[in-house]
Amino acid sequence: MLDELRAAPAEQAQRIERDIRRIWSRTGSATMDLLLKRGRDALEVNDSAKAMQHFTALTDHAPDFAEGWHGLALAYYQAQRYGPTVDALERTLALNPQHFGAMKGLGAVLEQVGMPDRAYDAYSLVLDINPNDTDVIEALERLETRVKGTTL
């Protein structure tokens, strides 16, 4: 499906991306599904502390489940805890090197902490997999002059 996403026209890309995320969200366990759902629900209402609790429990019980680490990274990011965010994103990418959401998150953190060159590189990796991600395209445009300068 990642190959389909790379080649998809913009109008199909969002559907393929949702399908990929749905596949990545399969834990194989009703208990882990519940922790994932509760963590995502807490993120939805900006309760990062509760989200961290659920995602920490999920990663404790299913340490090889990349989406649990990604959820934990989102909770840390929401709480503006960037060091733990990067740690959780690194775990996500170690388990799923094609996780475009984690790459995008890494770009956002690097941009937030004033590392535009590295943020630009992370965002560029996202477009290698998901070339229709408008948020990433906008981020690259926003960073381009800071990273590459202006031509004379």
Q: How much is the pTM?
A: 0.89
pLDDT tens-digit series, residues 15-46: 999 999 999 999 989 999 999 999 999 999 99
**Element (DSSP H or E) covering residue 103:** helix 100-112
Percent of the chain that is helix, strand, coil (3-state, to 5): 80, 0, 20
Q: Where are the domains of the chain?
A: 2-146
**pLDDT of 48-102, one tens digit each?**
999 999 999 999 999 999 999 999 999 999 999 999 999 999 999 999 999 999 9
Let me know: does 129 contact 100? Beta carbons within 8 Å: yes
pLDDT one-digit tens code per residue, 50-62: 999 999 999 999 9
CATH topology of domain 2-146: 1.25.40
